Structure 1
Amino acid sequence: MAEALVKSFLQRLSSLILEESEASTDLQDQFQRLKNRLEEIGSFPGESGRRKHEDRLFCGWTSDFVETLHDADNCINQYVTKTRNRDGSDQAQTIVQICNELEKIDARLAESSCRRSQLKMTPTSEAKEEIGESSSTTTDDVDVEGEESLAPFELKYRNLPSYLRSCLLYCSLFPEKISRGRLVRLLVAEGILQERPAGEVMEDIAEENINELVGQGILRIVIGFEDELEVVDPYHRICILKRQQGEGITRYLVSDSTNFPESSHLIFIQYHGDTITTTSFNDHPIGSLHVIPDYSQGLIPSEYWYEGIPDDHWACVRSALYTLTFLQVLDLENLCIKSLPEEIGDLIHLRYLGLKHSVLDEISESIGNLQNLQTLDIRGHRLPRGLPSGVLNLLQLRHLMLPMNKIKVPSGIGILTNLQSLTGLFLRPGIIEELRSLTKLRKLELKDVSEEHGSELSASIMKMRGLLSLSLRATFLDKDELLPTLEPFSPPPFIRKLCLSGRLVDLPDWVCSMESLTKLSLGFSFLPEEAVSVLQDLPNLKHLILSRACEVKVITKEFCRVGGFPKLEVLIIASRTLLEWTEIEEGALPCLALLRFHNCLRLMNLPEGLQYVTTLKVLEMIPLHPDLERRLKHDGGKENYKIKHIPKKQFFSSSLRKWIEI
């Protein structure tokens, strides 16, 4: 990551030296000296070849070096902001100040270079002590404000490579869990990733970092929501303490909207339902701005979801957009804003624009000026009637997420050949042919799909050999219109997620051949039980959602035999006709962690053998039939033995009209 920052900063310095050729000799000399110093420092050692103590020392050096580099970047930003469009006397004074600051930064870099050379030559006494250490920790390891209980976690945190610490610190900024996809897109836009050989997809690197933190037990996948992540509590507390002590990621962090340090690059503001007040954003070289609403505990009126928040509540943030010249990330997810200024198109460095759950009537045509935009997220229920034609100018766009309502997408979307995600797209004449150009797609979600699209759609999808997620949704889910089976169809080999929403005569043969499939959602398919039971042979399936997919009255033990669904962790069933599930054989469903019945209004019996599914952590029934409620009660319920081993049970009582525990 540090090496990538150096390369990027060197490119910027080279451009600035050319652009400012008429600037003062002193300033030109400072620019050149800084460039020479960074080139002298050169490449960075890899992580894999170092011993534990060396890794820790180099991580500390890298963190300090990155901080110095960002101070240099701040200084350059201030120069660009203050000198342009000002008179000569002001410019001269600013240049003197900037030269002084750059001289101090150069001295810090010289010291950093010397320190790095010493680290390469010989281990320090601290390192020698660490070489002889066993699993015990020194008193230096317990520096989290005296919380000795955190010492093992603190040590593990310290031993993380710097890029993983950066990723972890970033995750900890979000007050609640965050979706994996959103986190990946933000990490790429923020630049919080390590340098890799050219050609590697940055989203893959972000996924690897997340998976490594999950594998080490530092990030946790929320049960039942494989796409949502949260920082495990001990590490979350450590991250808060580290930020309080001044440890940053690739940029400085601040969450207090009334006090922005001059060096703040990444701003988090929490909206609590009233007017946001901030100090001026002027002259702050902000790179990322997140406004996060707190909808918990009724702090924000529910009508804002539909009507949008009052414009005056975020007026100071809105007006600040005029001045945020260097903004790369603007994240207003869930803020429910009603409008964006025309000047949004002036944010030419913007890489991420998150407007999910906004209530915008339109998006300005000026969005076409955002030539560096990677993510445009406008998902939600009430969003613009159409996309402006300017969106076709966004040739760097990698993720385009469209709203649930049917909006008009301009013809020619096939020109956006860098797209990796395209969701919420309603089919129209000619658009399937345009999809054939989008061969880099990894996630595709199409709506208004019908039988007549079968052969053409099949041909287009088979060109997307890197596709990981596919969703096809019919226009009328509860009508007789059929989804296409896409026969003959050879699905792209790496698809992990598949969603088919619409009536099917039978389950397509190609579904059962998808060995990489980890998540399958079938909705309004109205299939017979025998068609659904073949899914248990999918070797890697972890999540199965059956939403009116199999409208039978009784689920038998044939639904899941011993050895079937070997990796299934989450099973969600929604059915208006289901009366009972008769039996689960002992040894079946060996990995099941969550079982949810949703809108199974007539369900009267849980299966015999549920007591043998010892891995089950969560059982949810929404709602719970009154007769079944009586039989499941812990104080005398005849069938309580089936569920008493489950740690977490959530039921919505249809008789009491409230959530209960049994």
Structure 2
Amino acid sequence: MAEALVKFFLQRLSSLKLQENEASPGLQDKIQKLKNRLEEIISFPGDIGSTSKQEDGLVCNWLGNLIETLHDAENCINEYVAKARNQDGSDQVLSIVQFCGKLEKINAHLAEILRQRSQLIMPPTWEAKKEIGQSSSSGDGVDVVGEESLAPFALNYRNLPSYLRSCLIHCSLFPEKTSRGRLVRLLVAEGNLQEKPGEVMEDIAEENINELVGQGMLRVKIGFKDKLKVVDPYHKICLLKLQRGYSISQSLFCDSNFPQSSSIVVIHHHGETIMTSSSDHPIGSLYVFSCNEGIPDNHWAFHNFKILRVLEIEDVKIKSLPEEIGDLIHLRYLGLKHSALYEIPKSIGNLQNLQTLDIRWPRSLRGLPSGVLNLQHLRHLMLPVNEIKVPSGISILTNLQSLTGLFIRHGFIKELGSLTLLRKLELMDVSEEHASQLSASIMKMTGLLSLSLHTRGYGKDELLPTLEPFSPLTSIRKLCLEGRLMGLSNWVCSMENLTKLRLGFSFLSEEEISLLQFLPNLKHLTLWRACEAKVINKEFSRVGGFPKLEIFIIASPYLLEWTEIEKGALPSLAFLCFHSCSRLRNLPEGLQYVSTLKVLEILPLHPDLERRLKLDGGKENYKIKHIPQIQFFSSFLRTWVAM
């Protein structure tokens, strides 16, 4: 990772074409010295990304310092390019002099990093050991003085490659859990991933997340949606890192003037004006989480964020964004979820580096400006599921990987056929008349991983297209069909790689639903009013059926009883939820044999079933007493949690 980053930065320096009026010998000399120092680091004997002394108590911070220094250098160059190229005369001369001074300091830091690296090759003296120990308390080695219980976890944290540390830190930025998709998009935008030839950056981010989950540092909370949370010991370590203000800073108070050393800032907003304390220091990423009613219109100062890469705002109160947002030409990620915006400025078309535009769940947004079609590097467009006006011509955004919340209108389906790189597609207002053209467009998306189709309404008269001409793409892993189905199509039952399936308002029979147990890799199944059957029989879950199902959610106002689960069926089930099954009076016999079950939720709980499941004297408590976490909401909104 480190070697790749150094080489990438060398390429960045080589591609920095100086204009004639700024190609002074002094500036050229500083850039050349920086190149020479980086080449010296690459040519140093031994593996640039490892050390034989990582396991002892004298862990050196040289690798983390190198990564931090290179990021600072990149910010320095971005700031110079954004500032000096728009100046002339004495102002530009001053900017060049300041830029040379910063490059000189970066070169000095790299010289110190190289010296630290040399100490890892030769056995250090006592003085060197003391110096190394001191340096580890000011870099990526988290200072855990007074937190002895964190010491072994801090060592694990320090031994992580820098890109995994970055992933862990970013997951800890959020007040609560965060979704996997959101974290993936942010990691790609932040640019802290190790590039692999031929691999999509989103896949590399997924690999990093999975590695941290495998190491027990990230936990996946199973349920309606997979949510990620940093495990407590590592979360404390990440908070220590954040609060020290070294490269990443978290503002946990009302004063939102940013520490001078922060390139990533998190604000839990309490109503103050959001602006930098000094325009000299670049802020790369800004995360704002509202702690009350949101942020008033006049509480923004976008002119202070010239090189911002990530702007993530939640629950904002502002009704409009200033046109100056178009000046954030380095912006890669713009998140505006749960906003009060009624329009987005036309200047958004200036954001040529934008990768993600997330405007889900707005209160009153009316539409997108035509300028959105200028965003040629856009990879993820997340639209609200309440219909807004989208300009025609979306086919020009050929780099799109995610397109969600798009309401089908005349001409849109044909345009979709040009978006061959799509990996996630969600379409609203789909009907039978779209079947043929929609099938043809989807078949061109050979890398499609997730497909969601929704009808306008969820009554029996609102039919989803059968898509019979549709030959299921083997790449599809997630499928959501919301609307009445005229039977369960053969192509659904033949999707061997399907891992997640949601059927909503499908009006299918129990026999058709039972066919789903033969999907060999299905892990997550949601039946949301998908079946009108009053009774689920044991045919639904035979031995060998649902071999990998981990999460099963069923919502049905008709369901009275699930009679039986054959012993040996559902061998991987971990989460079972009955949602809106207000008439359910019996849990299945055989549930007691599902030893993998960790969570049972029943919302709401019928009084008769509540009596039979009680801890003391409940006749059917034997079915659930092995389950570690049980949550019931009765019709009287009482909660009973059994541990």
Does the pair score TM above 0.5?
yes
CA–CA distance in 2 between the matches of 1:577 and 1:658?
23
Superposed, which structure 2 residues align to 1:171-182 within 5 Å? Answer: 171-182=171-182
Corresponding residue number in structure 2 for 1:563: 544
Offset at residue 16 of structure 1 (A): 4.8
Q: Is the 8 A contact 2:385 2:428 kept in 1?
A: no
CA–CA distance in 1 between the matches of 2:62 and 2:629?
45
Corresponding residue number in structure 2 for 1:149: 149
Moved more, 15-24 or 595-604: 15-24
Q: Aligned pair in 2 of structure 1 residues 76, 440: CA closer, same or farther (>3 Å)?
A: closer
Corresponding residue number in structure 2 for 1:328: 309
Corresponding residue number in structure 2 for 1:311: 296
Q: Aligned pair in 2 of structure 1 residues 574, 92: CA closer, same or farther (>3 Å)?
A: same
CA–CA distance in 2 between the matches of 1:394 and 1:30?
35
Q: Is the 8 A contact 2:257 2:277 kept in 1?
A: no
CA–CA distance in 1 between the matches of 2:417 and 2:82?
44
Which amino acid in structure 2 is aligned with residue 161 of structure 1?
A: P
Which amino acid in structure 1 is aligned with residue 277 of structure 2?
A: S
SS in 2 for 1:390: helix
Residues 277-331 of structure 1 deviation map (CA, whole Å, 9 limit, x = unaligned): 666353331111110134xxxxx3xxx5xxxx3525xx33x2x212211111111
Corresponding residue number in structure 1 for 2:34: 34
Q: Is the 8 A contact 1:59 1:162 kept in 2?
A: no
Superposed, which structure 2 residues align to 1:447-462 within 5 Å? Answer: 447-462=428-443
Q: TM-score, normalised by structure 1?
A: 0.87
Superposed, which structure 2 residues align to 1:343-382 within 5 Å? Answer: 343-382=324-363
Correspondence for 2:381 among 394, 400, 404: 400
Correspondence for 1:470 among 437, 451, 468: 451
Offset at residue 3 of structure 1 (A): 4.4
SS in 1 for 2:314: coil
Q: Is the 8 A contact 1:81 1:283 kept in 2?
A: no
Q: Aligned pair in 2 of structure 1 residues 52, 206: CA closer, same or farther (>3 Å)?
A: farther
Superposed, which structure 2 residues align to 1:109-128 within 5 Å? Answer: 109-116=110-117, 119=120
Offset at residue 636 of structure 1 (A): 2.1
Identity of aligned residues (%): 70
1:252 aligns with 2:248: yes
Which amino acid in structure 1 is aligned with residue 169 of structure 2?
A: L
Q: Aligned pair in 2 of structure 1 residues 324, 554: CA closer, same or farther (>3 Å)?
A: same
CA–CA distance in 2 between the matches of 1:235 and 1:382?
36
Unaligned runs of 5+ in 1: 130-140, 295-299
1:286 aligns with 2:283: yes
Superposed, which structure 2 residues align to 1:76-87 within 5 Å? Answer: 76=77, 79=80
Q: TM-score, normalised by structure 2?
A: 0.90
Residues 6-60 of structure 1 deviation map (CA, whole Å, 9 limit, x = unaligned): 4554455445551264465433422332233334434799989967646999983
CA–CA distance in 1 between the matches of 2:334 and 2:591?
46
Moved more, 37-46 or 169-178: 37-46
Residues 200-239 of structure 1 deviation map (CA, whole Å, 9 limit, x = unaligned): 2110110000011111111111121453101111111122
CA–CA distance in 2 between the matches of 1:376 and 1:431?
19
Superposed, which structure 2 residues align to 1:573-652 within 5 Å? Answer: 573-652=554-633
Residues 579-607 of structure 1 deviation map (CA, whole Å, 9 limit, x = unaligned): 11111122221111111111112111111
Q: Is the 8 A contact 1:595 1:619 kept in 2?
A: yes
Moved more, 579-588 or 398-407: 579-588
Corresponding residue number in structure 1 for 2:212: 213
Q: Is the 8 A contact 2:275 2:304 kept in 1?
A: no
Offset at residue 262 of structure 1 (A): 2.0
Offset at residue 407 of structure 1 (A): 1.6
CA–CA distance in 2 between the matches of 1:34 and 1:556?
72
Q: Is the 8 A contact 1:528 1:552 kept in 2?
A: yes
Corresponding residue number in structure 2 for 1:660: 640
Which amino acid in structure 1 is aligned with residue 637 of structure 2?
A: R
CA–CA distance in 2 between the matches of 1:218 and 1:408?
42
Corresponding pairs, count: 626
Aligned alpha-carbon RMSD (Å): 2.9
Q: Aligned pair in 2 of structure 1 residues 291, 244: CA closer, same or farther (>3 Å)?
A: closer
CA–CA distance in 2 between the matches of 1:345 and 1:463?
34
SS in 2 for 1:355: strand
CA–CA distance in 2 between the matches of 1:40 and 1:464?
45
Offset at residue 65 of structure 1 (A): 1.3
Q: Aligned pair in 2 of structure 1 residues 159, 8: CA closer, same or farther (>3 Å)?
A: closer
Q: Is the 8 A contact 1:455 1:486 kept in 2?
A: yes
Q: Is the 8 A contact 1:544 1:571 kept in 2?
A: yes
Which amino acid in structure 2 is aligned with residue 148 of structure 1?
A: E
Q: Is the 8 A contact 2:319 2:343 kept in 1?
A: no
Superposed, which structure 2 residues align to 1:530-549 within 5 Å? Answer: 530-549=511-530
Unaligned runs of 5+ in 2: 130-140
SS in 1 for 2:480: strand
CA–CA distance in 2 between the matches of 1:87 and 1:461?
52
Offset at residue 498 of structure 1 (A): 0.4
SS in 2 for 1:311: coil
CA–CA distance in 2 between the matches of 1:523 and 1:571?
14
Q: Aligned pair in 2 of structure 1 residues 287, 486: CA closer, same or farther (>3 Å)?
A: same
Residues 351-388 of structure 1 deviation map (CA, whole Å, 9 limit, x = unaligned): 00101111211111111111111001111153422221
Q: Is the 8 A contact 1:59 1:161 kept in 2?
A: no
Q: Aligned pair in 2 of structure 1 residues 349, 573: CA closer, same or farther (>3 Å)?
A: same
CA–CA distance in 2 between the matches of 1:628 and 1:417?
54
